[in-house]
């Protein structure tokens, strides 16, 4: 999916940009895929999706050449045409069955009966919130049997029969297993081996739980509440809409028909083949047969949709591209529409395989759990992940739309054309879509410097989560389908993408993409595993990729490279990195293959590729400053001695070409993380920051603001340290505040516009006097007269709201609340929800908490509210108390989306340093069923432990440093 829940996750990401303090360690990631990033989004963890909504790309220049490496030159490839393998004929494919294989503990369906084609008719009732269904499933019975077992959930079976050898049989019993979501039909005679047709009539509920076939509400122009129907099937919710073999390897083709009111539009994966009027007010819309595909990619939607359209121009078979929206919104889809054919053409070229469907639709959905979902030919999105208004939207949403759309389109090949064999290999979908989606955005918008954004966004999110003991390997065994949603997180999306970037840069991107073309061609319309990817890359590169990459995907954690200098030698030694800094011997047995990226390269290193394949390596100290992990391509932390940091810092201060943009950002990320974990003192990080006084790059400033702000946030209960760090922060940003101001000159470059918000936000949170005063002045004008709307540019509106709410009272609160209720667009509502959490008065904090579960806030948007509250020290503890008091309500509300429920746990605890909460949280959940969000709970507890240990360890040293430096 897009960036989690996108999904998703994607996805990227809200809190990272929205709060310089939040979700450093405990965040999951991305768009969707699906992306969110993310959004980066699809079924990613909801917290990742939220992050992706606000996270954006940055940086001022392109001093490094890693981006050119990412794709050096266009590859000229022949247009793809289908070979003798018919994508609509399952008999021509070696489709896998979901056998337990290397994981005998998988809970899967029997393989004695498998589907090849579904003929499906759905009749929704958007007034009664129900639907009826009829499905005919063409089956192959591989061995005689009296039983047929498939997946169903929340469906009422009305009639069932099976046709074998021209005879029809009805089951003598129908048994439902609610725990495993299965229905077993038992017949009184053996069903003989061969072809069969299973026919089922059933009823279902159009719930509002954003899973299966569900309803989404909206207001029309007159203020009336109306509904649309839409599907969301990943990971295991197709079974909520039709009886099926709901496993990724049980691929089949589909012929879908929707019986809908005449005035409504019906959409599905394929183009409409015919429309039949069945009653004066009802029609049947029939769709073309799909290619062979997995159940989680099937999709349909019904509603009052309008669309804008374009067509590809560079493909042998033109593809019709459309953006569908509710009435009055279609022009906001113009940007997404403009980039869609360009991305399709780019991927068709670099993958050597043309997009195989005749159309690609994007659909904006008001109520949507993930960031986006890559349904083949009908991609669905949260509204804010697809729609963008050039005049009224915050700029960060534009890049998020681009990243999410590219992520979801990447899935049309990686996930849809070639699908993971089982959920253990989810990263093949999400990690690759995140990496190649970034590649596409960088190709279309090189001025955005998206790869530098990747370094501080996806890489840090993935490394941060994998630095926890409660993390998991990229390839994580999934035994029960109920566990699947817990791995839609920063490991599958962001660490997966980071590992791909590291490998592709080492092999060279040209070689890597040649391997991808080999992989796609060999496994098109089938399922694949991680080993299949390694085999393709090994064949292309003539290197045994599996030998050194299995450690990265099958083992938990990342390495830290400890650098020491002795007697003219540099020694680098690798160990597992934990943010708790308490690695046990049994946890430190892994030897990773590490591309060192030493720059300038020492003559004494013989290996031209500079890889570390053992515990340690020594070489002669290069003259002057030197760096490991040039371009920050490797997925590891580097722990330099203070003397080395000082030399690098001087090179940064002097503007040396030695330290490029990604290097400067990566150094901040590493040293900040190492100071938080206790590998180095936090004062060493603050010493490093002072070398950045001439910095002007957006991407670097985003990290500087986040990491310095995080210290003030975590140490909020220590008045001396909190105020001293804010003083330091005010000094840090003062020059840039004066330089950038509050106005957005016409024609200003994108990154400068993004940088302005970073600087003003950081200054406002630190109490920079001139910034606070100007925010109050502009806010007063903004709320006094609609004619003053432009006084607060959309890209700094949230920052201004946040400042005045943190400094003001009820009057300011009522103005922002009014703005939320009156906002005509969801991105404007998001801005208000994020800012409202910054109120300081207990009674207003309570009102914001109540708003989170009111009818005014869509269930999917609770996380914006919690994000603001968690970034505000005054509301953290009250919000945790509120979660406890409302747990039953939250658990019932999100029982169909446990990743969202897990985020309700993580947000209020993410920035707390109160050690007593650890015991309290454990006691609260002791008598509750946490299996569906256990990872999120474990991560929240570990984050509490890390934060409280940081404060206890550093209070004295930080206080002394601040005093010694006059802060």
Q: Which residues are annotated as a binding site for Zn(2+)?
A: 407, 411, 430
Measured between alpha carbons, how far is 711 from 689 in angstroms, rounded to an integer?
A: 13
> H or E element: which one contains 59?
none
Measured between alpha carbons, how far is 472 from 478 in angstroms, rounded to an integer?
A: 11
Q: Residue 746, CB half-sphere, CA atoms under 13 Å: how many? A: 0
Measured between alpha carbons, how far is 827 from 589 in angstroms, rounded to an integer?
A: 47
Q: Which two tokens stand for residue 848?
A: 């914001």
The conformational region for residue 392 under phi > 0 = left, psi -120 to 50 = alpha, else beta, is alpha
Is there a contact between 29 and 38 (Cβ–Cβ < 8 Å)?
A: yes
Measured between alpha carbons, how far is 619 from 617 in angstroms, rounded to an integer?
A: 7
Going across the sheet that includes 359-365, the strands are: 306-311, 320-325, 359-365, 378-382, 372-373
Binding residues: 407, 411, 430
Rounded to the nearest 10 degrees, the angle between the axes of helix 682-689 and helix 934-964 is 70
Measured between alpha carbons, how far is 879 from 92 in angstroms, rounded to an integer?
A: 56
Is there a contact between 411 and 63 (Cβ–Cβ < 8 Å)?
A: no
Measured between alpha carbons, how far is 952 from 936 in angstroms, rounded to an integer?
A: 24
Is there a contact between 70 and 502 (Cβ–Cβ < 8 Å)?
A: no
Nearest CA to 796 out of 51, 17, 40, 50 is that of 17
Among 44, 51, 234, 408, the active-site one is 408
Is there a contact between 635 and 498 (Cβ–Cβ < 8 Å)?
A: yes
Non-local (6+) Cβ contacts of 777 within 8 A are: none
Q: What is the DSSP letter of 10?
A: -
Is there a contact between 489 and 496 (Cβ–Cβ < 8 Å)?
A: no
CB neighbourhood size of 623 (10 A): 8
Measured between alpha carbons, how far is 549 from 558 in angstroms, rounded to an integer?
A: 13
Q: Residue 563, CB half-sphere, CA atoms under 13 Å: how many? A: 21
Q: What is the CA radius of gyration of the chain?
A: 27
E strands in 631-766: 637-639
Measured between alpha carbons, how far is 874 from 842 in angstroms, rounded to an integer?
A: 8
Q: If DSSP states are collapsed to H, E and C, what string results for 825-844?
A: CHHHHHHHHHHHCCCCCHHH
In sequence order, what are the beta bridge partners of 2?
none
What is the largest distance, in Å, between two alpha-carbon atoms of the chain? Answer: 91
Residue 408 annotated in active site: yes
CB neighbourhood size of 588 (10 A): 16
Q: What is the DSSP letter of 288?
A: P
CA torsion through residues 91, 374, 29, 639, sign: positive
In sequence order, what are the beta bridge partners of 279?
282
Is there a contact between 730 and 763 (Cβ–Cβ < 8 Å)?
A: yes
CA torsion through residues 36, 41, 42, 44, sign: negative
Measured between alpha carbons, how far is 201 from 119 in angstroms, rounded to an integer?
A: 12
> H or E element: which one contains 224?
none
Bond preceding residue 863 cis, omega within 30 of 0: no
Share in percent of the chain as helix, strand, coil (round to 5): 45, 20, 35
Measured between alpha carbons, how far is 896 from 601 in angstroms, rounded to an integer?
A: 53
Measured between alpha carbons, how far is 749 from 741 in angstroms, rounded to an integer?
A: 15
Q: Which two tokens stand for residue 762?
A: 């950081």
Known catalytic residues?
408
């Amino acid at each position: 999916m897009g960036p989690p829940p996108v999904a998703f996750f994607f996805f990227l990401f809200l809190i990272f940009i929205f709060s310089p303090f939040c979700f450093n360690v405990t965040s999951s990631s991305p768009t969707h895929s699906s992306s969110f990033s993310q959004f980066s989004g699809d079924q990613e963890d909801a917290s990742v999706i939220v992050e992706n909504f606000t996270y954006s790309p940055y940086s001022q220049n392109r001093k490094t050449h890693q981006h050119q490496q990412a794709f050096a030159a266009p590859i000229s490839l022949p247009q793809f045409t289908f070979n003798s393998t018919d994508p609509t004929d399952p008999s021509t494919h070696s489709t896998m069955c979901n056998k337990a294989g290397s994981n005998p503990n998988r809970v899967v369906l029997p393989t004695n009966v498998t589907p090849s084609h579904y003929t499906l008719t759905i009749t929704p009732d958007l007034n009664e919130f129900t639907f009826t269904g009829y499905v005919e499933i063409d089956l192959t019975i591989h061995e005689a049997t009296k039983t047929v077992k498939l997946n169903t959930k929340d469906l009422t079976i009305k009639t069932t029969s099976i046709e074998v050898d021209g005879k029809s049989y009805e089951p003598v019993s129908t048994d439902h297993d609610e725990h495993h979501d299965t229905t077993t039909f038992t017949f009184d005679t053996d069903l003989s081996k061969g072809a069969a047709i299973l026919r089922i009539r059933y009823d279902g509920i159009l719930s509002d739980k954003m899973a299966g076939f569900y309803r989404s509400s909206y207001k029309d122009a007159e203020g009336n509440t109306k509904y649309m129907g839409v599907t969301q099937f990943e990971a295991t919710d197709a079974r909520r809409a039709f009886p099926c073999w709901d496993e990724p390897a049980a691929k089949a083709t589909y012929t879908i028909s929707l019986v809908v009111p005449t005035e409504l539009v019906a959409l599905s994966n394929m183009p409409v083949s015919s429309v039949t009027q069945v009653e004066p007010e009802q029609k049947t819309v029939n769709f073309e047969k799909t290619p062979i595909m997995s159940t989680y990619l099937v999709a349909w939607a019904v509603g009052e949709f309008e669309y804008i359209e374009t067509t590809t121009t560079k493909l042998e078979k033109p593809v019709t591209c459309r953006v569908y929206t509710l009435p009055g919104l279609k022009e906001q889809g113009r940007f997404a529409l403009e980039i869609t054919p360009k991305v399709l053409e780019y991927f068709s070229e670099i993958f050597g395989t043309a997009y195989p469907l005749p159309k690609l639709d994007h659909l904006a959905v008001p109520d949507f759990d993930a960031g986006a979902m890559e349904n083949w030919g009908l991609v669905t999105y949260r509204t804010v992940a697809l729609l963008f208004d050039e005049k009224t939207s915050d700029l960060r949403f534009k890049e998020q739309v681009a990243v999410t759309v590219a992520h979801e389109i990447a899935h049309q090949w990686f996930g849809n054309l070639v699908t993971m064999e089982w959920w253990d290999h989810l990263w093949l979908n999400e990690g690759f879509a995140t990496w190649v989606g970034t590649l596409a955005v960088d190709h279309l918008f090189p001025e955005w410097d998206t790869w530098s954004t990747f370094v501080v966004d996806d890489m840090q999110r993935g490394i941060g989560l994998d630095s926890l003991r409660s993390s998991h390997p990229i390839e994580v065994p999934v035994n029960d389908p109920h566990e699947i949603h817990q791995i839609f997180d920063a490991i599958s999306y962001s660490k997966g993408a980071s590992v791909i970037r590291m490998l592709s840069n080492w092999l060279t991107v040209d070689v890597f993409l040649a391997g991808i073309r080999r992989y796609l061609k060999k496994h098109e319309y089938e399922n694949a595993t991680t080993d299949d990817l390694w085999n393709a890359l090994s064949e292309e590169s003539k290197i045994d990729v599996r030998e050194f990459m299995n450690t990265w995907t099958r083992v938990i954690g990342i390495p830290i490279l400890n650098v020491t200098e002795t007697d003219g030698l540099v020694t680098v030694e690798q160990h597992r990195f934990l943010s708790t800094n308490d690695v046990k011997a049994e946890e430190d047995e892994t030897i990773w293959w590490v591309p060192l990226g030493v720059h300038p390269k020492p003559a004494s290193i013989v290996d031209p590729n500079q890889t570390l394949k053992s515990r340690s390596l020594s070489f002669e100290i290069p003259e002057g400053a030197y760096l490991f992990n040039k371009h920050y391509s490797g997925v590891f932390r580097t722990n330099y001695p203070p003397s080395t940091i000082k030399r690098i810092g001087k090179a940064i201060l002097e503007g040396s070409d030695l330290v490029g943009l990604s290097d400067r950002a990566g150094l901040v990320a590493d040293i900040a993380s190492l100071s938080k974990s206790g590998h180095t003192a936090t004062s060493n990080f603050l010493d490093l920051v002072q070398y950045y006084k001439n910095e002007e790059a957006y991407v670097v400033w985003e990290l500087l603001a986040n990491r310095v702000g995080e210290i003030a946030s975590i140490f909020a209960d220590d008045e001396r340290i909190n105020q001293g760090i804010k003083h330091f922060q005010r000094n840090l940003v003062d020059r840039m505040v004066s330089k950038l101001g509050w106005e957005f000159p016409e024609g200003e470059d994108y990154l400068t516009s993004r940088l302005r918000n970073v600087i003003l936000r950081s200054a406002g949170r630190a109490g920079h006097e001139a910034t606070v005063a100007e925010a109050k002045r502009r806010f007063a004008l903004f709320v006094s007269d609609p004619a003053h709307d432009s006084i607060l540019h959309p890209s700094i509106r949230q920052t201004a709201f946040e400042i005045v709410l943190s400094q003001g009272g009820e009057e300011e609160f009522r103005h922002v609340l009014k703005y939320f209720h009156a906002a005509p667009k969801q991105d404007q509502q998001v801005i208000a929800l994020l800012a409202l959490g910054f109120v300081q008065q207990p009674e207003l904090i309570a009102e914001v908490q109540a708003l989170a579960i009111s009818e005014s806030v869509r269930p999917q948007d609770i996380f914006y509210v919690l994000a603001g509250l968690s970034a505000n020290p005054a509301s953290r503890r009250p919000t945790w108390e509120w979660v406890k008091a409302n747990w039953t309500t939250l658990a019932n509300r999100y029982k169909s989306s446990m990743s969202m429920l897990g985020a309700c746990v993580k947000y209020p605890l993410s920035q707390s340093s109160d050690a007593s909460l650890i015991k309290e949280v454990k006691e609260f959940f002791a008598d509750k069923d946490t299996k569906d969000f256990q990872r999120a709970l474990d991560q929240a507890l570990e984050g509490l432990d890390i934060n409280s240990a940081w404060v206890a360890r550093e209070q004295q040293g930080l206080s002394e440093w601040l005093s010694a430096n006059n802060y």
